[in-house]
Structure 1
Amino acid sequence: MKDQEKIIDFDTKLLERYIENKRPPLEIRDQLDIGYRKEGQAFEVFEIRPNWMDNSIKMEIPVAKARYVKSRSVWRLYWMRGNLKWDFYEPAGEMTSLSEVLEVIDADTHGCFWG
């Protein structure tokens, strides 16, 4: 395994641990849950809730998106604006580690991620 693959695998484990720690108790996960999807060098965190008109339909509500810029070895964090477009989260700037990105999302000092 190449060093870069080891870093990516470590990042995936870190992200999985973060999500697992953010998830609500089992008894309410049918009403609120936290998930993520990873595509290449990016991941998205989202809430999972039932549709307000039809509880059998689950909706994914975006929380945060981050992308690793390999050429500069930095992470860029994005938040979903009211116009449903991702916008660079300028207060944090570019970050050098995934753990730093997850700390910023968790702290949510400007109410952009968790409300």
Structure 2
Amino acid sequence: MTLPPADLARVRRWCDQRVPDSVRDQVRVDCDEAPRHLTIVECRPPWGPDLGPEWTRFPIARLTYTKKSGTWALYYRDRNLRFHRYVQTAPTGNIGELLDEVDRDAIGIFWG
């Protein structure tokens, strides 16, 4: 299955806009793509040269697509890096509503 291209583009733009250009050498927000979901990840550079050149990737939220209904559902990550349905927001066909919820983070579950 492929994800809706317009929604994928919207999430990519949202990620790009989360961090000002002036600090992108310190933190980034990226989107990892899978056939049925997108995972929003926070990326940070290595803490020291002995750790190698790879940035760490820490999952923040997951957006899961259901093709049959054409809806997206929002998931949060627990301390064991497992995802659970975020029940404060119902599945929707408008992915922007879910991105707004991640931005708002009313209960501090996404960004802490």
TM-score (ref. length: structure 2): 0.84
Residue matched to 2:34: 39
- Note the residue ranges of structure 2 that are not aligned, 5 or more in a row: none
Segments of 4+ moved more than 6 angstroms: none
1:16 to 12, 27, 40: 12
Cα distance in 1 for partners of 2:5, 2:78 equals 30
Aligned-residue sequence identity (percent) comes to 26
For 2:45, the aligned partner's letter is P
TM-score (ref. length: structure 1): 0.82
1:65 is aligned to 2:69: no
Report the count of equivalent residues: 109
1:24–1:32 CA contact under 8 A, matched in 2: no
**SS of the counterpart of 1:62?**
strand
Aligned-pair CA distance for 1:34: 0.9
Alignment of 1:1-115 (within 5 A): 8-25=4-21, 27-52=22-47, 54=51, 56-115=53-112
For 1:19, the aligned partner's letter is C
